[in-house]
Structure formats: structure tokens, C-alpha cells
Amino acid sequence: MSKSNSYRSGQHVTWNWGNGTAKGQIAERFERKVTRTLKGSEVTRDGSDDNPAYLIRQEDGDEVLKLGSEISAA
């Protein structure tokens, strides 16, 4: 597994969003395909051993689903 794609529960991460960056905290990790309904929309990420998917909770309580390759340690 690529070290840059490995994050632990509770870890703070950032990702590009629009013209800036967003941040949140890792809530859950998935090493398989995962689909969640977030803000009324189905979101799917094809998580794997090499590029896990992460459920991330933002400070305002919203949740996002991102692959490890889409996020960076904060």
C-alpha cells in the first residue's frame, strides 16, 4: 500500500474543493467499493487495498467520501 494513501480514523485531512481546499477528519476506511447517500446524492468510490476510500466528517457535520489519492494529511 502506498504510504501517502494510508490514513487512520480520527486523522485530519484536506482536499481540493473548487478554488480552495476543504478539511475534515477520517471517520471510516473502506478497502472495497462503497456507496453512501450524502446530502441526498448517492456517492460511490472504488476503494481498494492500494487506494482505500474514506468517509470524512467535516467540522460542520457534513460527510464526504474520498479516495486516499484525493486527500492529503492536514
pLDDT of residue 1: 40
Q: What is the separation, in whole angstroms, between the first and last Cα of the chain?
A: 20
Q: What is the band of 9 on the pLDDT scale with cuts at 50, 70, 90?
A: very high
Spatial separation of the C-alpha atoms in residues 39 and 54, rounded to whole Å: 16
pLDDT of residue 2: 43
pLDDT digits (tens, 9 = 90+) for 15-70: 999 999 999 999 999 999 999 999 999 999 999 999 999 999 999 999 999 999 99
The C-alpha cell that represents 45 in the structure block: 468510490
pLDDT of residue 5: 77
pLDDT of residue 4: 60
Handedness of CA 31, 14, 18, 36 (dihedral sign): positive
Which residues are CB-neighbours of 25 under 8 A, at least 6 positions away?
10, 11, 12, 13, 56, 57
Scan for cell 478539511, then name that residue: 23
Q: Assign a CATH topology to domain 3-73.
A: SH3 type barrels. (2.30.30)
